[in-house]
Amino acid sequence: MISLHTSPLDQPGTGDAGGMNVYVVEVAKRLARHGIEVDVFTRATSSALPPVVQAHDGVAVRHVHAGPFEGLTKTELPAQLCVFAREVLRAEAVQPVGHYDVVHSHYWLSGQVGALARDRWRVPLIHSMHTMAKVKNAALAAGDAPEPAARIIGEEQVVEAADMLIANTDLEAKQLIELYDADPGRVEVVHPGVDLDVFRPADRAAARAALDLPADAQVLLFVGRIQPLKAPDVLLRAVAELLHRSPGLRSRLVVPIVGGPSGSGLDRPESLAALAAELGITDVVRFVPPVDQATLARWYAAATVVAVPSYNESFGLVAAEAQACGTPVLAAAVGGLTTVVRDGRSGLLLDTHDPRDWAAALARVVDDPALRDRLAAGALDQAREFSWEATAAATLDVYRRARAGMREAAA
């Protein structure tokens, strides 16, 4: 696997680390349980990192030196592609011929390197986009910068070069075909999963006690990187509107924001706290740094509802994890969220980012315990459709198809 711009060892929720990091490590772990040896190549971001870290049994993370260790943004990484690719090829050159059977690249930067490795090693390239520039640019958040033309061209090149493309949802597959002219026969839908051993129902009172949350609070939770794309500002504006309509709710309301600045959000890392102060809701908002999965599961269990107001999500891992904990989700009806969340069954989908509409939806959940209970039961049912074991098994089938197709082409 190639995950150039972010390491599976990084803590999700800040910087460039997010759902893709979880995806890479969880799929790799489960492929290893099938007896497959997985090497994950990623760019070293510190001189203190060892060349190889055994992340799990059968999964090695290989740190590649390409460019300065710190200070490079994702937009500056294309200049390091040649160096990164050279080091990946060198790492393979010391192995016996035919050491690798497939290359699975994640995000377009990795796909550029994967295409070169494919041709050099004569093995198939499987690529996962995770996000797409053309999709993001079509629905930009206020204050967010459009993706550059160089990324769009790079993505088009990777789509053309890949033997198979793995899409998270049917919608993503359609976007690959319609926006990137992908061959439908080379696009396979494989849903990401959830670790159902970690994210599972838990006692709400105990979870709240552990997190120092009032037992009787209405907890409106946001989890994710703090950047315009994820739209945590929509939740804060909706909360201000909700309190304007129901002032008596203030004493029982807690709005945790679990995550750190990322992407264009790094330009103004304090902007969300400043917005909370401007809206007069500092007393109900709690900013929580990124946490490990076990603690994150506790936050989900403690929440009344989890808000996912993103402008785009290729899948929506936060929504899937929350539902696995039996917590309803209030989400924007964009991207993969329309697959993950069943409107009216496991949560509520909104086709708007207007804070007034979000406030009204929050009020529905807060004021109607029967609705909450119904959605919570539906959330658990919905979560059972997604598991990393199923993701890994389907991914392995894609690898086999890609290898068979390459052998037929060679013949």
Going by the annotation, the residues of the binding site for 1D-myo-inositol 3-phosphate are 5, 16-21, 74, 107, 131, 151
139 contacts 312 by C-beta, under 8 angstroms: yes
DSSP string, 312-354: --SS-HHHHHHHHTT--EEEES-TTHHHHS-BTTTEEEES---
Residues 6+ apart with CB under 8 A from 279: 236, 237, 239, 240
Going by the annotation, the residues of the binding site for UDP-N-acetyl-alpha-D-glucosamine are 11-12, 19, 225, 230, 291, 313, 321
Going by the annotation, the residues of the binding site for Mg(2+) are 300, 303, 327
Going by the annotation, the residues of the binding site are 5, 11-12, 16-21, 74, 107, 131, 151, 225, 230, 291, 300, 303, 313, 321, 327
Categorise residue 225: left if φ over 0, alpha if ψ from -120 to 50, beta otherwise.
beta
d(CA 149, CA 142): 20
Tokens representing residue 143 in the block: 């204050």
Q: 385: burial class by Cβ within 10 Å (0-12, 13-18, 19+)?
A: middle
Apex CA 85: angle with CA 36 and CA 88, to 5°?
40
Matching residue, tokens 């401007």: 278
